[in-house]
Structure 1
């Protein structure tokens, strides 16, 4: 097979023309591809046909050493994969040096949590002397007591709740069910809501948490109410349902809970998903150590 020899810039232009003609890529995307390709060829000192896996790896390593973000390196690698696949097809090179090449792994940000004092302030924010405040206190207590997802809590029906035994049957992802304890604070808040105020709203559904018109409370409404009470409690950080789930898991581990138990309570199919919370707990311990240890 005869290889077509051309300068890098000419080849880049031909690739971009083909990408525009075949896939109709936007001008901004084509400009980004051009920048990534020019950057790559500016870092290597070999002809196109002689580029190997080693050159691509060294380019990524150099960018990492320089402090470039993993996201920008992965974007460039994606561009290179497309370029070299096209170059093989057009007989510019014999083999694709990016074939089966893995880029650097993006770091997963640690989930945000809340301190115990922030939780206490948040729980105290709604007034339990009126229907919606009483409902919101029950919502917050249930979120923090169970670590439920917002979709799970919005869908909870009366038949899933057993206040006598203090448990709730949660229907999670994939239709999987789990039993989660409620704890005294959540039980008390739910009892007050269900027996005193929920009937006043004349519910037209069997969901535990209903709106002022008696209909099922939406996920969006749950988000909005939690944000409102967080502001009322003087919490500057963003507070949302999943952050209460993070607080639930982190605080359990902080107080010695077994990771497998936390996995079961959260409804994670894979233990590796739960393990991120061990990193959260360790980071909090390190922060406390730095703040309070004489040689921290």
Structure 2
């Protein structure tokens, strides 16, 4: 109950304390978990046991899904992070599984209770003007040409950093404006590109041999002539952002996010953007592009034939 102080672990009712101690012994002797993991279990479970006592619960068989949901609600009110609540619930599920194993429970009341979703912070996209400023790299130095080609391609095709780094020369069809990309889960897709991305990639390909080792297959190489590293790409893009006077911090992921956002703003076609990004589920695209429900509803109302309001009849 609100305002009620927790009881200390040593004065938990025996019906709560003894099963907990047996569980800790089980983790130590049977599971061989590290001291750190055991301490984490003990901290989480002791906290929840104290909260249950404050709520009037005196034994574990009394705990049902409604009690577990109360624990989750209390954690939310205490402003615990979603990841911390998930950890707490995981500890409780493991403990209840043990109680089932030793015959003290028949079912796990925490199994059907979900932790709040952990909202990943997304990078802010660059607006079109900022992107234009970043990409106005006018330099004939081979490294500058390479860097502009990388940035144009990431923004022009919405590539992930790993996808960009792993492209081989033979995966590029410059005349058709297509790249064969190996994405997450080793899934292959064709990524289209055109305009400035095509022009600068062509410039890079014309001078690539002056930097690349003879047997190197990578499209983009470092000064050493071998495949460029993830960190090198990140560092170079960050440096170009500063050189070009862009106020936002520049990262490869921000270019991909900007591609998705600008494509969605221009087309309103969520499915097409999903395909271009290589997302398996459209829900990922919604989160990635920070698309809110109001915008989706607006697109639906305008596009779906059964969503359009009929004009009032003259009855």
Q: TM-score range by the shorter chain?
A: 0.7 to 0.9
8 Å Cα contact 1:53-1:98 kept in structure 2: yes
Task: Give the direction of change, closer, same or farther, for the CA distance of 1:150–1:94 in structure 2 (3 Å limit).
Answer: closer
Query: Counterpart in 2 of 1:42?
Result: 50
Mapped partners of 1:151, 1:22: distance in 2: 41
Q: Over aligned residues, Cα RMSD in angstroms?
A: 2.8
Task: Give the direction of change, closer, same or farther, for the CA distance of 1:146–1:281 in structure 2 (3 Å limit).
Answer: farther
1:231 lines up with 2:239 in the alignment: no
Q: Provide, for residues 155-206 of structure 1, a one-character-per-residue CA deviation record: whole Å limited to 9, x for no partner.
A: 32333333333333333345544333322111221222222x3232254223
Q: Which runs of 5+ in 2 are unaligned?
A: 1-12, 296-315
Mapped partners of 2:98, 2:49: distance in 1: 16
Query: Counterpart in 2 of 1:20?
Result: 28
Counterpart pick for 2:41 among 12, 21, 33: 33
Normalised to the residue count of structure 2, the TM-score between the two structures is: 0.77
Query: Counterpart in 1 of 2:117?
Result: 105
Q: Provide, for residues 48-69 of structure 1, a one-character-per-residue CA deviation record: whole Å limited to 9, x for no partner.
A: 2322222111211222234322
1:60 lines up with 2:72 in the alignment: yes
Mapped partners of 1:283, 1:113: distance in 2: 20
Query: Counterpart in 2 of 1:293?
Result: none
2:190 is paired with a residue whose SS is strand
Mapped partners of 2:186, 2:63: distance in 1: 50
Counterpart pick for 1:51 among 59, 63, 81: 63
Query: Counterpart in 1 of 2:260?
Result: 249
Task: Give the direction of change, closer, same or farther, for the CA distance of 1:104–1:213 in structure 2 (3 Å limit).
Answer: closer
Cα shift at 1:111: 4.4
Alignment of 1:153-168 (within 5 A): 153-168=164-179
Query: Counterpart in 2 of 1:74?
Result: 86
Aligned length: 278
1:146 lines up with 2:157 in the alignment: yes
Counterpart pick for 1:189 among 200, 223, 229: 200
Normalised to the residue count of structure 1, the TM-score between the two structures is: 0.81
1:201 lines up with 2:211 in the alignment: yes
Cα shift at 1:14: 2.6
8 Å Cα contact 2:65-2:112 kept in structure 1: no
8 Å Cα contact 2:257-2:289 kept in structure 1: no
Mapped partners of 1:26, 1:282: distance in 2: 44
Q: Which runs of 5+ in 1 are unaligned?
A: 285-296
